Amino acid sequence: MTRTKGSLISGTLTTMKEWWPSVALLGLLTLAVELFARTNSIPRVILPAVSDLAASIRNTGPSFLLRHFSMTAFESVAGFAIGAGVGFGIGVMMYYSRFLERILYPIVVTSKAVPLVAMAPLLTFWLGYDVWAKIIMAALVSYFPVTVGTVSGLKYVDQELTDLLKSLGADERKVFTEVRLRAALPNVFAALKIASVLSVVGSVVGEMAGSTGGLGYLLLASIYYVDVALSAAICLVMASLGLSMFTTVALLEQKIINWRPAVDTGNR
């Protein structure tokens, strides 16, 4: 059985073996930065070496960092889950009802048109300094792509397949679970992958607007103390959070969509 081999982006995650060029490139860049920083041609406080980042993490205390990481991770995952669920729900409703689509579409687009950074202080003002404001932020940024992906996925469905099911006496519920949903899944997952990374952006921006913890809060503090090494280290930790959420979604996708037609097998 041939399976499509490709990139994370196109939906299939393969073994580390195929990722070594990317890993090697990252390693080379890290090494270059490290070596360049060690020449001290730019002061280390401004351009810290990679080893300085590790040191700053050690000095700050890994368990302290982990606590803030957990908070941001919780907010991001919860926000993503809510956003994905609501986004999917709105997408399905918009697909089934012209009326709802007409009502919801402008609202959905408007909600996305308000800059995230502008929304953050408002939400903090309304919801307070605790995790809820951040969860809502994360949900607000993740639901939009999921709604768009769901609607376009459902619309893309091959009418011949739905006709076939109807001809076999299936009701709309069966048509939905057996055809529409499955046909929409590739689009939905593409959107979920985008949303998974965005949700981290949402919760971090929320934390930076006012919070008593989380990576965003820690980042603000490190910027305040001009601890560039720590700031950079926190950015990397944030990236690793986004990356692991993305990877989880991609793995889930690979598990669920196992029928992808064997087209575009990477012979580009």
Partner 1 sequence: MGAEISVDELTVRYRSKNGNFVDALGPISIHVEAGEKVALLGPSGCGKTTLLKVAAGLLKPTSGRVLIDGEEPDLPRRRGEIGVVFQKPTLLPWRSVLENVLLPLRIRGRTDDRVKRKAVNLLRAIGLGGFEHSYPNELSIGMQQRCALARAMIQSPRVLLLDEPFAALDEMNREMLNFDMLRLCEPTHITALLITHNVYEAVLFSDRVVVLSARPGQKVTEVRVDLGPARDPRLLESERYYEHVISVRKALRIPRLMMAS
Q: Which residues bind partner 1 (CB under 8 A)?
A: 1-2, 158, 160-161, 163-170, 174, 178-179, 182, 257, 259, 261-262
Cβ proximity to partner 1: between 81 and 165 the closer is: 165
Cβ proximity to partner 1: between 63 and 258 the closer is: 258
* Other beta carbons within 10 Å of 224: 9
Q: Please state the closest distance from residue 120 (CB atom) to partner 1, in A.
A: 41
Q: Specify the DSSP element, H or E, that contains 53.
A: helix 50-60
The secondary structure of residue 87, as a DSSP letter, is: H
Q: Say if CB 248 and CB 189 are below 8 A apart.
A: no
Q: Say if CB 83 and CB 143 are below 8 A apart.
A: yes
Burial of 62: CB neighbours in 10 Å, binned 0-12, 13-18, 19+: exposed
Query: What 3-state DSSP class applies to 257?
Result: coil
* Other beta carbons within 10 Å of 263: 6
Integer Cα distance of 114 and 204 in angstroms? 17
Q: Say if CB 6 and CB 266 are below 8 A apart.
A: yes
Query: What 3-state DSSP class applies to 258?
Result: coil
Spell out the long-range contacts of 112-117 with Cβ–Cβ below 8 A and sequence spacing 24 or more.
112/144, 116/140, 116/141, 116/201, 116/202, 116/205, 117/205, 117/209
Cβ proximity to partner 1: between 115 and 169 the closer is: 169
